[in-house]
Chain A
């Protein structure tokens, strides 16, 4: 339980519920790269195509959370903790414009050069 690949704070769960009131079916996809890189993007489930190489890390309150397979390989030693901070960004993510946005924090499960237990 404690080492689930992705968990959420109360603030994140509350924002998910707020978004689900408008968009019942949503998903998360973990971004990488520049600018808004490292942001967990939240989309209507029908909007974003999950690919063959994406890895499903788990579900948060029934909402699936994905990451690209190659990115998973370099992130898998950490547990992702979905949190919320004040902010505007998020590009096309459903948190955009709410003056609160999702942010991923992390907790080490094993050392980065070790196999995940």
Chain B
């Protein structure tokens, strides 16, 4: 077991809410124990807030919105850049907090989650500086001006799979656009964002960002259903997505939703045409299902492999799966850590049971991973490869674990048909040496993000969002600004002459 400075969880004993630029105890005085997925033990106490705290946060946000909305974009951008700098200076601390809170391997927190989050703040600092309004010449004397205005106060509900990065995906565009925020972290991962908040308290103007922790039912629901928000953003699952849309319909406000997928990862026959770097990269692309313990909305959880190369491909792929190092998330060499919660682990195991009944074959894994010592009480699942067909439940629902379901196809038509035979359309992967095949598949797959000859890259400036039941909106790109802005059209006549109607 790894030892060293990172072994101590970097949390205070207790965290209050962050409201109006201050850390404020929940009105009801209640707290809950935050457990680490690494060992199942309590690492800190977190405010168990309710509607009163949401109202206090909304009060603070509404008090701040006028000034923040009129703050020059150069200043807003400067603040976002300062947040990014502060995060960069404290990358190790934030990454360690993230790993303790979520269970993900520290190498991912350090190399992916934090650098992406930092870059995301810088990206939206730059795009807000360069955003242009519009001037439309209607006729010689009439001009339509289009101004971007903030919505005001927005609500954001954050998932537990990338707590800091997903919070950043929502915070950065909303702040850049001039909105004030009330944010509810997931109760499974409520602590790392509070470490972050302590780091940036002196940078953010009071009330611009307010973080209220607690349970979904007690704190998330009052936020989502509040008549005092101008927009709600949510990442999660479909039934809650529907309920959030329902609340939004009562208040007639826009929503953005990211509700997951069941992403196909398609390996065409020519992938194995040579045993070269490209083939090696494709094998890695297959094993990407295990990244972040599979707790990724775009997990490539359906691998579709041309039948002519199946044996050769899988022989290599299974060796790569067997080489995955699973263990202590704080060990820098660990590749797969712990699932984010015990209930998440239970759900994954329930899908192993379904897979067995449906006749799927476990080519690797298929059970909980037993750990020893301090990790014994953590939530670990073996990286798992299932062989079956697309009508099985394990091909149709996102398991959100380190699990890939593999099927073969005989030709391109069948590959495309299987790929699109899903309720969801968030991500997809296409692997081929032929540019035409890549293009045709890239366009024909009904998903918002198609990775071609790569997977699991999330650079800012590449739009991310779903087709079908995967949601509404596009994050991670300047087009997200449109989801956080109102359009003001000013239609001006420069003619002194009357129309002559009256």
Q: Which residues of A contact B (CB under 8 A)?
A: 29-39, 41, 43, 47-49, 68, 70-71, 74-75, 77-78, 85-94, 96-97, 101, 103-108, 111-113
Q: Is the CB of B358 within 8 A of A108?
A: yes
B399 CB to nearest chain A CB (Å): 8
State the main secondary structure of chain A at its contact with B: loop
Q: What 6 additional pairs, Cβ within 8 angstroms, besides A41-B243, A97-B215?
A: A29-B239, A37-B237, A38-B399, A70-B423, A74-B396, A90-B216
A85 CB to nearest chain B CB (Å): 5
Query: Bound complex: CA of A112 vs CA of B351, how far in Å?
Result: 14
Instruction: Point out the residues of chain A lying under 8 angstroms from B412, CB to CB.
Output: none
**CB-based closest 10 A-B pairs:** A34-B260, A87-B343, A33-B260, A31-B239, A96-B217, A108-B357, A37-B237, A112-B391, A33-B237, A74-B396
Instruction: Point out the residues of chain B lying under 8 angstroms from A111, CB to CB.
Output: 358-359
Q: Is the CB of A90 within 8 A of B239?
A: no
Q: Is the CB of B393 within 8 A of A35?
A: no
Q: Is the CB of A89 within 8 A of B341?
A: yes
Q: Is the CB of A106 within 8 A of B357?
A: yes
Q: 1/0 contact trace for B135-171 toward A, CB 8 Å? A: 0000000000000000000000001110000000000
Contacts between the two chains (Cβ within 8 Å), count: 169
A57 CB to nearest chain B CB (Å): 14
A37-B397, A111-B358 known; A88+B343 contact, CB < 8 A: yes
B386-411 at interface with A (beta carbon < 8 Å): 389, 391-393, 396-400
Q: Does B474 contact A (CB under 8 A)?
A: no
Q: Is the CB of A92 within 8 A of B217?
A: yes
Instruction: Point out the residues of chain A lying under 8 angstroms from B258, CB to CB.
Output: 34
Q: Does B353 contact A (CB under 8 A)?
A: yes
5 A–B contacts from the bound complex (CB under 8 Å): A37-B398, A75-B397, A78-B357, A85-B342, A113-B391
A111-B358, A112-B392 known; A34+B261 contact, CB < 8 A: yes
For the complex, count residues of B whose C-beta is within 8 A of A.
Answer: 56
- Which residue of B240, B341, B342 contacts A92 across the interface (Cβ within 8 Å)? B240
- Which residue of B217, B260, B341, B400 contacts A93 across the interface (Cβ within 8 Å)? B217
- Which residue of B160, B239, B346, B351 contacts A85 across the interface (Cβ within 8 Å)? B346
Q: Is the CB of A35 within 8 A of B237?
A: yes
Instruction: Point out the residues of chain B lying under 8 angstroms from A49, CB to CB.
Output: 242, 246
Q: 1/0 contact trace for B341-356 toward A, CB 8 Å? A: 1111011001101100
- Chain A's closest residue to B424 (CB) is A33
Q: Which residues of B contact A (CB under 8 A)?
A: 32, 48, 159-161, 186-188, 215-218, 220-221, 224, 235-243, 246, 258-261, 297, 341-344, 346-347, 350-351, 353-354, 357-359, 389, 391-393, 396-400, 423-424, 469-470
A63 CB to nearest chain B CB (Å): 15
A92 CB to nearest chain B CB (Å): 5
A32-B238, A32-B423, A33-B237 known; A103+B217 contact, CB < 8 A: no
- Chain B's closest residue to A92 (CB) is B221
Query: Bound complex: CA of A32 vs CA of B342, how far in Å?
Result: 19
- Chain B's closest residue to A70 (CB) is B423
Instruction: Point out the residues of chain A lying under 8 angstroms from B48, CB to CB.
Output: 97
Instruction: Point out the residues of chain A lying under 8 angstroms from B392, CB to CB.
Output: 112
- Chain A's closest residue to B48 (CB) is A97
Instruction: Point out the residues of chain A lying under 8 angstroms from B242, CB to CB.
Output: 29, 48-49
Q: Is the CB of B353 within 8 A of A106?
A: yes
Q: Is the CB of B346 within 8 A of A34?
A: no
Instruction: Point out the residues of chain A lying under 8 angstroms from B237, CB to CB.
Output: 31-39, 91
Query: Bound complex: CA of A19 vs CA of B492, how far in Å?
Result: 59
- Chain A's closest residue to B161 (CB) is A35
A34-B159, A37-B400, A96-B217 known; A89+B246 contact, CB < 8 A: no
B225 CB to nearest chain A CB (Å): 9
- Which residue of B221, B341, B354, B470 contacts A78 across the interface (Cβ within 8 Å)? B354
- Which residue of B341, B343, B357, B397 contacts A32 across the interface (Cβ within 8 Å)? B397
Query: Bound complex: CA of A94 vs CA of B392, how far in Å?
Result: 30
A66 CB to nearest chain B CB (Å): 9
Instruction: Point out the residues of chain B lying under 8 angstroms from A88, CB to CB.
Output: 32, 187-188, 215, 341, 343
